[in-house]
Structure formats: structure tokens, C-alpha cells
């Protein structure tokens, strides 16, 4: 089973659910913000940790983040494949010795293009993804690549967009899971209304192709990694 960890009620799994259903893999969405208990990560095929309005250092205001960090650490020790998205990627970086800046000078909002480096172009997470590729971004914080990690992608505004750790463990700063409804809901909820939706719609075909490939690739990687 795949586990989707939701950190914020306004940041759902979006298109990831459809890809999991199409692939036939069972999954569960866990509302970490509602104090739902975590399963043993060793029993899972893969884990996706989603984003949220809060930051990794906001554990007093959002105590569930401390539990998510502990779960990420346990998942890495268990060898369970994991993909951290935006806040999820920042939590992964923080849990493994990286630095998360809050606020950061590398913040981005809306449609942005991201460049794969040589390692990223060769990485199976980005198989079939062109460079540059279209992403949707909404982050005021940013991560560094943790010790032992490999930088895979960057943008003009944000030098660390994706990294890999051993064992099919990945962190990305962008949001491959979002769809029109999520983008429209975020516009004005987390930031002053800036009409992110029209920009998203104009780039939606390219966005969907790259994002679906990344998410499907992670599911395939995780499945292969857990085969006996």
C-alpha cells in the first residue's frame, strides 16, 4: 500500500490519487494535521509527503510536524521509498541534515520552469521529462540538498528544486500533484489573489505531461524497490 501524508487540509493529493488508481495500487490518505496515527513504514510500498502552508520550524503551532519528521526518519531507516513534495521535501531535507530557510530568498509563486542537471536527466524519477519542464510553485521557504544527497534540478530563482537520497528517496520543491481546483483554491487563500489559475491553464498541457510522468515514475520506482 502507498501512504499519502497530508499536512494541511487545504493541500490534498490532487492528481496523485488518479495516477495511483489507474495503476491499480492500493493507497491511503493520512491526515497528519488531524493526529491520525502513522502505520509502520516497513509495511508500505511507498510514501508521499505533501505540502502545507506551515514551515518545518513551526512545530509549536503545528505539533503534527514533529510526528511527520519522526515518521520520515523511521521510513528512511526501514528503506521505504519516499517522495517529499514542497513542505514534504523541506521536511525530508531537515530530517536528514539539510537546511531549510524560512523565509527564503528563493521563494516562487505560480508557473515556473525547472532545469534538470546531468544527474537529474539520467535519474529514473525524471524519465520522459524534458528539460526545462513546467512546474507549479508556491513556496516562501526552501531547502538545501542534505548530506549524502544528489542535486537533480534547479530553477533561476531556486538553486535546489529536487534531490535524491539513497533508497528511492526524493525531495522536490515544486507541486506535481496540483490540478485546476487546487490552484484556484490556493489563489487568495495562502497569498494575495494573483490569478495563478490563468497561468496554470495556459501551461496545463505541458504541466500535466511532466507532472504525471514524475508521479508515475515514483510509483514504479517504489514498487520495484519493494519487490522481494
| Residues tagged active-site | 86, 175, 177
Q: Are 170 and 164 in contact (CB under 8 A)?
A: yes
Buried b (16+ CB within 10 A) or exposed e, 169-195: bbbbbbbbbbbeebbbebbeebeeeee
First to last CA, the chain: 15
C-alpha cell at 68: 511527520
In sequence order, what E strands does the chain have?
Answer: 2-6, 27-31, 46-49, 82-85, 100-101, 108-116, 133-139, 142-143, 150-154, 162-165, 169-172
Amino acid at each position: 500500500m502507498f501512504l499519502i501524508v497530508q499536512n494541511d487540509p487545504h493541500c490534498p493529493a490532487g492528481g496523485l490519487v488518479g495516477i495511483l488508481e489507474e495503476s491499480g495500487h492500493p493507497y491511503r490518505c493520512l491526515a497528519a494535521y488531524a493526529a491520525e496515527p502513522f502505520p509502520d513504514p516497513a509495511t508500505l510500498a511507498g510514501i508521499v509527503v505533501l505540502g502545507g502552508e506551515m514551515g518545518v520550524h513551526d512545530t509549536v503551532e503545528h505539533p503534527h510536524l514533529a510526528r511527520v519528521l519522526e515518521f520520515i526518519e523511521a521510513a528512511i531507516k526501514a528503506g521505504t521509498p519516499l517522495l517529499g513534495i514542497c513542505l514534504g521535501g523541506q521536511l525530508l531535507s531537515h530530517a536528514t541534515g539539510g537546511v531549510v530557510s524560512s523565509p527564503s530568498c528563493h521563494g516562487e509563486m505560480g508557473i515556473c520552469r525547472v532545469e534538470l542537471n546531468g544527474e537529474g536527466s539520467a535519474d529514473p524519477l525524471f524519465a520522459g521529462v524534458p528539460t526545462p519542464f513546467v512546474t507549479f510553485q508556491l513556496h516562501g521557504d526552501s531547502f538545501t540538498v542534505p548530506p549524502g544527497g544528489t542535486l537533480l534540478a534547479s530553477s533561476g530563482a531556486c538553486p535546489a528544486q529536487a534531490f535524491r537520497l539513497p533508497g528511492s528517496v526524493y525531495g522536490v520543491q515544486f507541486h506535481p500533484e496540483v490540478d485546476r481546483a487546487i490552484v484556484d483554491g490556493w489563489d487568495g487563500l495562502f497569498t494575495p489573489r494573483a490569478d495563478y489559475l490563468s497561468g496554470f491553464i495556459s501551461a496545463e498541457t505541458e504541466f500535466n505531461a511532466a507532472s504525471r510522468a514524475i508521479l508515475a515514475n515514483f510509483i514504479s520506482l517504489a514498487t520495484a524497490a519493494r519487490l522481494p
